[in-house]
Amino acid sequence: MIIDHVETLTLDDESVRRCRNELNSLRYLAQGLDFLNRQVQQIEAEVRSRIPRDKVVFAIGNAPWLQNLPLGLVACSFHWYAVAACNYVGLAGWLGLGEDADAARAYQARVIPDTLLWRNKVAAHFSRVAPRKGDTPADLVSSVMFPVGFVDDAFVAAPFNYSQSGSTSRDMRWSLTKTHAELTKRYWAVG
Helices and strands (H, E) in the chain, number of each type: 7, 7
| Single-letter amino acid code for the residue at 173 | R
- What is the predicted pLDDT for the residue at 169? 63
Tell me the residue range of the domain where 184 lies. Answer: 2-188
- What is the predicted pLDDT for the residue at 21? 93
- What is the predicted pLDDT for the residue at 190? 66
- What is the predicted pLDDT for the residue at 87? 97
pLDDT digits (tens, 9 = 90+) for 13-67: 999 899 999 999 999 999 999 999 999 999 999 999 998 888 778 878 778 888 8
Q: Is 177 helix (H, G, I), strand (E, B) or coil?
A: helix
- What is the predicted pLDDT for the residue at 191? 55
- What is the predicted pLDDT for the residue at 167? 62
- What is the predicted pLDDT for the residue at 156? 95
- What is the predicted pLDDT for the residue at 47? 93
Cβ neighbours of residue 44 closer than 8 Å, sequence gap 6 or more: 150, 153, 154, 155, 177
Please choose, from the candidates 60, 57, 39, the residue with its C-alpha nearest in 3D space to the C-alpha of residue 48.
Answer: 57
- What is the predicted pLDDT for the residue at 168? 66
Number of domains in the chain: 1
CB 173, CB 144: distance < 8 Å: no
Which stretches in the chain have pLDDT values below 50? Answer: none
Rounded distance, CA 139 to CA 6, Å? 33
Please choose, from the candidates 83, 52, 67, the residue with its C-alpha nearest in 3D space to the C-alpha of residue 157.
Answer: 83
| Single-letter amino acid code for the residue at 80 | W
